[in-house]
Amino acid sequence: MHSPCVAKCGLNDDDFCMGCFRHINEIVGWGQASEEKKQAVWQQLPQRKEQMKGGNNSQIISRDKWIKAQTEIEQA
């Protein structure tokens, strides 16, 4: 299943991308996620988009945030 990435990355204060509306953990773990997990994420995106409408992408996805998310996924 393809990624919902729209190449407009920017995280809000809760670490959700304001481009694709995935949490950083979902972004980092996308390649290893099962098809079922990917489908579940896709199903949540319209609701997230509506909830986050008008929000700010206050931060880029930094290397530190990426590594932190990767570590959390590996420990899960």
Q: Which residues contact 16 (CB under 8 A, 6 or more apart)?
A: 22, 23, 24, 48, 52
Is it the case that residue 39 has pLDDT exceeding 70? yes
Q: Which residues contact 56 (CB under 8 A, 6 or more apart)?
A: 12, 18
Per-residue model confidence as pLDDT tens digits over 19-31: 999 999 999 999 9
Q: Indicate the pLDDT class of residue 32, thresholds 50, 70 and 90.
A: very high
Q: Model-level pTM?
A: 0.77
Is it the case that residue 71 has pLDDT exceeding 70? yes
Per-residue model confidence as pLDDT tens digits over 42-59: 999 999 999 888 766 666
